[in-house]
Chains A and B, each alone.
Chain A
Amino acid sequence: MADPTQSAPAVSTHGAGASPAPGATHEAAGAEHGSGGLPQFEFQHWGGQIAYLLVLFAILYVLIARVFTPRMRRVIDERASTIAGALEAARQVQAEALEQSRAAAADLAEARARSQALAFDARAKAAAEAAERSAIEEAKLAAQLAEAETRIAGMRDSAMAQIGAVANDTAMAIIEKLTGKSASAADLKAASAVRGGAA
């Protein structure tokens, strides 16, 4: 842009046609335009660029090594430790929660077992009471039954005893009717003794 007259054709003819010539004849021209026409080979500009780049490189190296890298590492380490701490805390809380849930489950199981035992006891007690009560009732009934049976037996025995007299009377009446004469009590006794002996 600084030199509009030095356009593309001028440089290319110089590069193609004059490239072998200045090396031999014109030392100054060769140094001026460089080899092959590339501006990068104008060596008079190298020293300044290299020296300046080395200075910039040294400053940037010191800044990065002394300032930026430690700062960056500090933040990254801090983050890593924060994350590790949070994870550790979360793990602890989780373990605690697990512990608590286990305890709650154990409590629940114990309560259930206790209530089951309680229910079993209550049922057993109720059954025992019922059995006792029914046993008492049964005993009472059995006693009444036994009493009734003895009464019946007594009544039957007395009835049986009375039946002997009735039979004697009946036998005497039948004998009187049949024979016309009354049988004596001794005869009846003998007769009943015969029957009793036969029986």
Chain B
Amino acid sequence: MADPLHQFKIEKIVDLPDVTLPGLGSVDLAITNSHVAMTVAFAAIVLFLTAVTSNAQVVPGRLQTVGEGVFGLIDNLTESIIGHEGRKLFPFVFTVFTLILGMNFLGLMLAFTATSQIAVTATFGVLTIGLVLIIGFAKHGLGFFKLFVPSGVPWVLLPVIILIEFASFLLRPVTLTLRLFGNMMGGHVALKVFAGFVAAAVIGKIGLLGLLVGPLSIGMVTALTALEFLVAFLQAFVFAVLTCIYLNDVVNLGHGH
């Protein structure tokens, strides 16, 4: 049976020399299968959004309805969670959502899932928390630290609460990263394992038992694929929702926190 983890392996397609970038250190510029997957997702998003918006009509066609649905989904999200200032942050949330959604969906159709790479999900997580920090300090200066001091807490509990709030804030990028990574990787491993059973049954590796295992496994693969499409959408959506919630914490710091 094929190694179910093999699909996550980074393969170099075009090898390019390493360069040293400030801040990142030595970077291997080789074009890998991860780069290709990201590029395809990026291109698909740009093509989709171009097709949706280039000839947008007041009475929308089918494609435009889908595009406006996605747009409205995130627009409502930012508007309802962050409020009036959500409009300014909409492009960021929409970029995060579409990129993750594109990579998740393409992972189910192509051979490589970029969002099952922890480097990719960590980048999204750090970007989000980085924006939270930038907005927090730009808007409130040192008042940003009020985020860790919820109002209405008895002063006796305050040291403990501050500690907990601070720890939970530090864990936000980690949970953002690991949730997406774990969901995508777990789903693809499960798919590959059951697909491996099917392959083993078909080539007769497990003998007559294959007659039982094969159909069962192929049913499992079908069901899991459907589930994975749901997970692919849901994880992108969850990431967008959490991004909105974290941004809301600093945008509306002090009122309603």
Contacts and interface: CB of A to CB of B under 8 A. Distances in A.
A57 interface: yes
A78 interface: yes
Prevailing SS type, chain B contact patch: helix
A72 B10 contact: no
Interface residues on B, range: 35 or more
A40 B8 contact: yes
Nearest to B25: A47
B46 A63 contact: yes
A56 interface: yes
A7 B3 contact: yes
B91 A39 contact: no
Nearest to A50: B123
Interface in B88-120: 90-92, 94-95, 98-99, 114, 116-120
A60 B68 contact: no
Contact of B49 (A37, A56, A64, A74): A64
A38 B46 CA distance: 32
A59 B94 CA distance: 13
Interface in B13-38: 21, 24-30, 32, 34-35, 38
B76 to A, nearest CB: 12
Contact of A48 (B4, B30, B53): B30
Contacts of A67: 53
Contacts of B21: 47, 51
Contacts of B30: 48
B95 A41 contact: no
Contacts, number: 130
Contact of B123 (A37, A53, A75, A76): A53
A61 interface: yes
B34 A65 contact: no
B1 A8 contact: yes
Contacts of B95: 57, 60-61, 64
B194 to A, nearest CB: 15
A120 interface: no
Contacts of B56: 71-72, 74-75
A48 B29 contact: yes
B253 to A, nearest CB: 24
Contacts of A52: 35, 38
Nearest to A78: B58
A40 B181 contact: yes
B203 to A, nearest CB: 14
A50 B10 contact: no
Nearest to B127: A57
Contacts of B10: 39, 42, 45, 49
20 contacts: A7-B2, A39-B10, A40-B117, A45-B28, A46-B119, A47-B27, A48-B30, A48-B35, A49-B34, A49-B119, A50-B120, A51-B21, A52-B35, A54-B127, A69-B91, A71-B54, A71-B56, A72-B68, A75-B53, A79-B58
Given A11-B5, A52-B35, A75-B68, 9 more contacts: A8-B1, A40-B116, A44-B28, A45-B28, A47-B21, A49-B38, A49-B120, A56-B38, A75-B53
Interface of A: 1-2, 6-8, 11, 37-42, 44-54, 56-57, 59-61, 63-65, 67-69, 71-72, 74-76, 78-79, 82
